[in-house]
Chain A
Amino acid sequence: MSGDDAATGAEPGAVNLNHPGVEPAIVRLDSVTHEYGGAGRRVVALQDLDLAVGRGELLCLLGASGCGKSTMLNLIAGLEDPTRGAVTRPESGAALMFQDSALFPWLDVTTNVELALRLRGVPRRERQQEARRLLALVRLEDAAKRRVHELSGGMRQRAALARALAQNTEVLLMDEPFAALDAITRDLLHLELLDLWRELGRTIVFVTHNVREAVALGQRVLLLSSRPGRVIGEWHTADVEGHGAQAAGIAADITAALRRELERHA
């Protein structure tokens, strides 16, 4: 039950996965190494990382703590530049969502979205209508005038999603966006995100700690090693939707690979 043709798991370090990914790539990391801290307290977050994200793909990045997932997203979003190597970013930039909605508490739902439009340079008279359209997309029309603290966790993440979509970037980066939500809400948001992804055709890079979440959402799942972070496994999961047994098999496979990677640090 290992899903032979769908998955290409790997022993840690045994395989050099050169540019796993789908062409044409919209995001590329070429032998990227990224280090933090000065001399003496140097931390290598990423080492010789190769990664390609296909246009329109929903890619899940999976890894334990210290695998440099957040660093990777920062590099792709252009918030940081790599110590060595090259990062190819989409021309329109990349929107980034966090585990916390990071909505501005002094604004209501609508004005949060409108601020993103404003910072993108959308003229004033178009903002209102566009914000309404985006909120309808995540079905928050009824909460349009609410403040952040008046929303449930799931509604906050939907509002944050609307704000990210307002940036109108081809690529949407999501850093464990549903990790703090309860299971019922998370399941619903998975389905909603998949719907939106199909409808909008954006490229999504979704980082998670959760193997089941990765398999349920991703077309492709990449497993990252920790300290330093590099790709050590790749699974194609696009066809498993609705095939519970196959999905469970891949999830078991990934979990086993993840455990092997963790044992390496014991």
Chain B
Amino acid sequence: MPETTTISRAEDGLDRLEQTSGDRPRIGRAGLRILAAPLPAIGAVAVMVGVWQLVFSLELQPPSVLPSPAEVAETAVDLARDGSLVEALWVSGSRAVVGFALSVFVGTLLGLALARVRLLRAALGPLVTALLAMPAVAWVPAAIIAFGFTDAAIYSVVLVGAVPSVANGLVAGVDTIPPLLHRAGQVLGARGWTMVRHVLLPAALPGYIAGVRQAWAFAWRSLMAAELIASSPQLGVGVGQLLQQGRTLFDMPRVIVAMGLVLLIGLVVELGVFGPLERRVLRLRGMALR
């Protein structure tokens, strides 16, 4: 008995010595970090606006081609006042959310099937990768012919744009699972669905999230391409259509406002949603650098 006590005390001492400082970051600090994350990006935008103002002041181009930042800001305020900015945000935003959610759902099922069924992987794997390399805008004419000027046409373009990213991310995530974890699951009695649910999916999560994150960017781009080409009164005025209007009216400030909006939404979702999500998942597994 005294012998055992000595062993356990020695081991406790060793545990203490070998402990990596496992203190979780406190909420306050994590919150600060999330707030601080966009600061460098905001700084870069400020510098760009400064350069823009400088070039404008040099009068290298007529104002119709290169309007001043102030004029563009004025246009933005006008568009915000008459409600068209909010409408564009709502139309495009809701489409993006629905299309992205659909893509994640379909892409996850497809990815699981590709990861688990070897024949399907051999048959469809290269095709999915090829889709990934194809600009979604190439699908727009086909989608319009097939579905007309409807939301269905737009969603179909978003889906072909984003689904391959989700599927490929999940497949990559499953492929990079250490075989030992799979074996450990087997030893613990995980089979079939319980293996998928308790081992494969959680182990594949980092790759999956990287895929979902890329899918968001692709969904947003595809949506803009679709809205830009499929401009029609039935479809409402999304950000893409706003851009198209600006082109038709030869209204550069309007074009720049719409472009800024496209950029801003991509940035906000990236910095506000997917960046922190990915970091959190990696940090919990001890895989993050920060």
Contacts and interface: CB of A to CB of B under 8 A. Distances in A.
Given A104-B199, A115-B188, A139 B181 contact: no
A184 B14 contact: yes
A120 B189 contact: yes
Interface in B169-207: 180-181, 183-184, 186-190, 194, 198-199, 202-203, 205
A147 B203 CA distance: 14
B200 to A, nearest CB: 11
Contacts of A96: 187
A149 interface: yes
A77 to B, nearest CB: 6
B4 interface: yes
A245 interface: no
Given A102-B180, A139-B8, A149 B286 contact: yes
B194 A119 contact: yes
Interface string B241-283: 0000000000000000000000000000000000000000000
Interface in A54-106: 77, 79, 93, 95-96, 98, 100, 102-106
Contacts of A100: 180
Q: Is the interface of B mostly helix, strand, loop or mixed?
A: helix
Interface residues of B, number: 31
A154 interface: yes
Contacts of A154: 11, 14-15, 18
Contacts of B181: 102, 104
Contacts of A155: 15, 18
Interface string B1-15: 000100110111011
Nearest to A105: B285
Contacts of B15: 142-143, 152, 154-155
A139 B13 CA distance: 12
A116 interface: yes
B57 interface: no
B64 interface: no
Nearest to B10: A188
B22 interface: yes
A187 B72 CA distance: 73
Contacts of A118: 198
Interface residues of A, number: 38
A163 B185 CA distance: 11
Contacts of B284: 106, 147
Interface string B116-131: 0000000000000000
A104 B202 contact: yes
A95 B285 contact: no
Contacts of B234: none
A147 B285 contact: yes
Contacts of B189: 93, 119-120, 167
B285 A188 contact: no
A128 interface: no
A154 B19 CA distance: 11
Contacts of B186: 79
A195 interface: yes
B286 A139 contact: no
A99 to B, nearest CB: 9
B19 A98 contact: no
B22 A150 contact: yes
Interface string A130-158: 00000000010011001111101111000
Given A152-B20, A188-B10, A102 B286 contact: no
B188 A79 contact: no
B15 to A, nearest CB: 6
Nearest to A99: B180
A149 B7 contact: no
A126 interface: no
Contacts of B199: 104
Contact of B205 (A106, A119, A152, A163): A106
A77 B186 CA distance: 10
Contacts of B190: 119
Given A119-B198, A155-B15, A102 B183 contact: yes
Given A95-B187, A188-B10, A152 B203 contact: no
Contacts of B205: 106
Contacts of B287: 105, 149
Interface in A158-205: 163, 167, 184-185, 188, 191-192, 195
Given A100-B180, A188-B7, A146 B12 contact: no
Contacts of A115: 188, 198
Which 9 pairs, one residue from A and one from B, show the smallest C-beta to C-beta distance?
Answer: A149-B286, A150-B22, A152-B18, A102-B184, A105-B285, A96-B187, A106-B202, A119-B189, A119-B188
12 contacts: A95-B187, A96-B187, A98-B180, A102-B180, A102-B181, A102-B184, A104-B181, A119-B188, A139-B12, A147-B286, A155-B18, A167-B187
Given A104-B202, A192-B7, 7 more contacts: A102-B180, A102-B181, A104-B203, A106-B205, A115-B188, A143-B15, A167-B187
